[in-house]
A = this chain, B = another copy of it.
Amino acid sequence: MTEPRTYRLMLLILGVVFAFLYIPISVLVGLSFNEGGLPTAWTGFSVKWYGALAGNSDILKAAGNTLIVALFSTVLSTLLGTLLAVGVEIRRRNGKWLETIIFAPMIIPDIVLAIALLSMFSLLGVKMGLHTIVVSHVVFNLAFVCAVVRARLKSFDWSIVEASADLGASTMTTLYRIVIPVLMPAIIAGALLAFTLSVDEFIIAFFTAGAGRSSITLPMQIFAMIRFGVTPEINALATIVMSVSVVALALSQRLNKGGLPGQ
C-alpha cells in the first residue's frame, strides 16, 4: 500500500482534480485585487473594488440583511437545536423515529424545502420579508446544530450527571454547572456552522424573501449581479463571503474536533 508508484498516481489525481478547484478560486480572489479588474492583465494590486462595494448602497443593504438573518437564525437555531439534542439523548429509548424526524431536514433537498416554505407562507397569507427568511433558516439550520451537539453527546460521560446529583446538586444546578459548560465547545461550533450556512444560503432565501428588493441577501445580490457577467465587484463580494465562511468554519472545527458534519 505504501509503494511509491501508487502514491505518485495518487498525487497526480490529487493535483489534477484540485487544480480544477483551487486555480479558479485563486483567480477569483486574485482578480478581486486587480487594479484593472480584467482577467487579461495584472495592472497592480488595489482594493478599489472593495471600495466600490462600500459605495454601493444595494450591496450594503444586502450585507445588512444577511447579517440580520444570520444572527437571528443562528441564535434561535442554536438554542432550539441544543435543547433538542439533549432532550433526544435523554430519551434515547424513544428511539429511531425521533432521530429520523430531527435529521430529515438535512436530507430534504433545499429547493424542495424552499418551495414547501413558500407555499406555506402563501397559504397562511404571511407577508414575506426578512422575518420569513429567519424562520426558514431556523428550520434549515436546526438539524445541523442538533447534529453537531449530538455528536459531542455521543462521547459525553453521563456518569458526571449522576455524580453531580450524588454530590447534592439539583437538576437545574447540574444543567448550568455541568452539562452546559461541558457541551459549550460543541454549542459554539454548532452556532458557527449555523451562521455560515445562513450567510451562504441562496435558494431558500430567494423563495421566502417575498417580492421587491427590500429583503435581498448577499447570495441573492451576487445572483442578480451575475446576469451582467462576472465583474470585479462580484469577485470582491465572493471573496468576502468565502472569507466569512472559511473563518467561521475553521473556528467551528477547532472547537469541536471530529464533530463537524462529514468529518
Q: What is the interface of chain A, defined by CB distance below 8 A to chain B?
A: 1-3, 6-7, 10-11, 13-14, 17-18, 20-25, 27-28, 31, 39, 80, 83-84, 86-87, 90-91, 101-113, 115-120, 122-123, 135, 138-139, 142-144, 147-148, 150-151, 161, 171, 174-175, 179, 196, 199-200, 202-203, 207, 219, 222-223, 226, 230, 234-235, 238, 241-242, 245-246, 249-250, 261-263
Contacts and interface: CB of A to CB of B under 8 A. Distances in A.
Contacts of A122: 230
A138 B113 CA distance: 24
A58 B110 CA distance: 22
A65 to B, nearest CB: 15
A213 B249 CA distance: 36
B106 A262 contact: yes
A230 B115 contact: yes
B219 A103 contact: no
Contact of A262 (B148, B203, B223): B148
A108 B245 contact: yes
A112 B262 contact: no
A227 to B, nearest CB: 11
Contacts of A238: 111-112, 115-116
Contacts of A123: 27, 39
Nearest to A10: B87
Contacts of A7: 87, 90-91
